[in-house]
Structure 1
Amino acid sequence: MTRPDMALFLAMTAGSSPTPWLLSIASALARFGPWLSAVVMLWAGLRQRDERGYLLALLCMAAIGSLAAHALASTLGYSRPFMLGLTPSHLAHGGSDGLPSTHATVMGLVAFGMLVRRPLRRYGLAAMALALATGWARIHVGVHFPLDVVAGLGLAAALLTGFLVVQWQLRVRLGASAAEPVVLPPAPSAIAPSHREKPLP
């Protein structure tokens, strides 16, 4: 199977003769990178109380991103490198299809989501570093092609854009509703009293 990123993959993967110390680092990142990203998100929530609602919404978006990535990978049907016999898998993994990478989608959503918020930007930088490092690690251990990771980050950016657009529209609508003047019925005292008829002589 010919892929446009084949040469890059062969340069990045551990292959049949891995460097032991580098493979150990890659294996640890491939397994625990998402958990480290979750720790960054939790730390951001503890330090930035005003952003907790946004972080909770971002967590929900990450769950949606995971489902979207799985569905898209099943539809596209691009196999993982070890499934094609290009390299041994240095990480125990099932036989699901690999494009886009679910790890890159979820971790990218978390990172991009925090980068677009000024109070969360420094946490977003840490989360993005973890996302990129984990993407490299999963290529190195043979469970993803580089394009799988790029596609996952692209899907994350698209989903986050949709989420921000919906959030902006809700704010505009709620703001417009709050700005509309409330028309109240006139108070009874403001109603002009009716003229009583004079008694006939």
Structure 2
Amino acid sequence: MNAFHLDLLQWLAAGPHPTPWVLAIAVGLALGGPWLSTAVIGAAAWRRPGHRAYVLFILAGAGLTAMLCQEIAARINMPRPFILGLVPAYIPHGASAALPSTHASVMFMVAFAFLARPALRAPGIALFAVAAATGWARIHVGVHFPLDIAVGLMFGALMAGLLGAAWWMLELGAQQLAARIPGLAGKRWPTMPRPRA
């Protein structure tokens, strides 16, 4: 960890003398950000039934992203800033490895996946904002370095791209299969509904 990242941590973290109202917001976002994202995802799926299969696919991808992220973090084994005594922690947290941030990886992955679909871009913008705010909050309360969040964002973008490619191949395969089966040509594949705005 070089001097720039340590200076950035000291600037973003609450430190030993936090501003009470800023810390209260950070604690709320650090703990509640994922739940807020879940609410946005649920509302998007409810209001856009033509995209529910895609949303479910992305949620499955979120589970995969979390598992991969935790495996990578365990191998890198970067301690959290409060474990190193650099800043105090203002939320309860274990001593698990921090790089990349699982919260950031999953939340940014879902945000990018939504942004990739024109009909889901409005909730995608909201999801990106919540992910960014949660990332800041988890730095502020002392459980992550800025680098953990930045790498989580990049890993989330990578996973969103891979999942988007996988979804495209599934749609293409379903369309080709439907075209070859008598009686299905020209019909929508039941498990891959065509997106509606």
The answer to whether the aligner puts 1:143 opposite 2:143 as a matched pair is: yes
Deviation at 1:4, TM superposition (A): 4.7
Q: Give the Cα–Cα distance (whole angstroms) in 1 for the partners of residues 67 and 51 of structure 2.
A: 25
Code of the aligned partner of 1:27: V
The answer to whether the aligner puts 1:28 opposite 2:38 as a matched pair is: no
Q: Give the Cα–Cα distance (whole angstroms) in 2 for the partners of residues 83 and 37 of structure 1.
A: 28
Moved more, 113-122 or 163-172: 163-172
Q: Give the Cα–Cα distance (whole angstroms) in 1 for the partners of residues 126 and 163 of structure 2.
A: 22
Deviation at 1:181, TM superposition (A): 9.2
Report which of the two structures shows the higher radius of gyration computed on alpha carbons. 1
Code of the aligned partner of 2:51: E
Code of the aligned partner of 1:47: R
Give 2:155's aligned residue. 155
Q: Give the Cα–Cα distance (whole angstroms) in 1 for the partners of residues 110 and 153 of structure 2.
A: 11
Code of the aligned partner of 2:82: F
Give the CA RMSD over aligned residues: 1.6
The answer to whether the aligner puts 1:83 opposite 2:87 as a matched pair is: no
Give 2:114's aligned residue. 114
Deviation at 1:68, TM superposition (A): 1.0
TM-score (norm 1): 0.86
Deviation at 1:23, TM superposition (A): 0.4
Deviation at 1:22, TM superposition (A): 0.4
Moved more, 161-170 or 52-61: 161-170
Q: Give the Cα–Cα distance (whole angstroms) in 2 for the partners of residues 148 and 123 of structure 1.
A: 25
Code of the aligned partner of 1:168: W
Q: Give the Cα–Cα distance (whole angstroms) in 2 for the partners of residues 3 and 96 of structure 1.
A: 23
Q: Give the Cα–Cα distance (whole angstroms) in 2 for the partners of residues 3 and 74 of structure 1.
A: 24
TM-score (norm 2): 0.87
Q: Give the Cα–Cα distance (whole angstroms) in 2 for the partners of residues 110 and 167 of structure 1.
A: 14
Give 2:185's aligned residue. none
Give 1:19's aligned residue. 19
Q: Give the Cα–Cα distance (whole angstroms) in 2 for the partners of residues 125 and 181 of structure 1.
A: 39
Code of the aligned partner of 1:50: G
The answer to whether the aligner puts 1:8 opposite 2:8 as a matched pair is: yes
Give 2:94's aligned residue. 94
* Cα shift readout 1:111-163 (whole Å, capped 9, x = no counterpart): 11111111111001011100000000000000001110011111111111111
* Cα shift readout 1:42-73 (whole Å, capped 9, x = no counterpart): 00011111111111111111111111111110
Give 1:188's aligned residue. none
Q: Give the Cα–Cα distance (whole angstroms) in 2 for the partners of residues 113 and 164 of structure 1.
A: 7
Q: Give the Cα–Cα distance (whole angstroms) in 2 for the partners of residues 178 and 99 of structure 1.
A: 44
| Structure 1 portions without partners, runs of 5+ | 183-201
Q: Aligned in 2, Cα 1:181/1:13: closer, same or farther, shift over 3 Å?
A: closer
- 3-state DSSP of counterpart to 2:83: helix
Q: Give the Cα–Cα distance (whole angstroms) in 1 for the partners of residues 36 and 85 of structure 2.
A: 31
Deviation at 1:89, TM superposition (A): 0.6
Q: Aligned in 2, Cα 1:48/1:6: closer, same or farther, shift over 3 Å?
A: same
Code of the aligned partner of 2:83: M
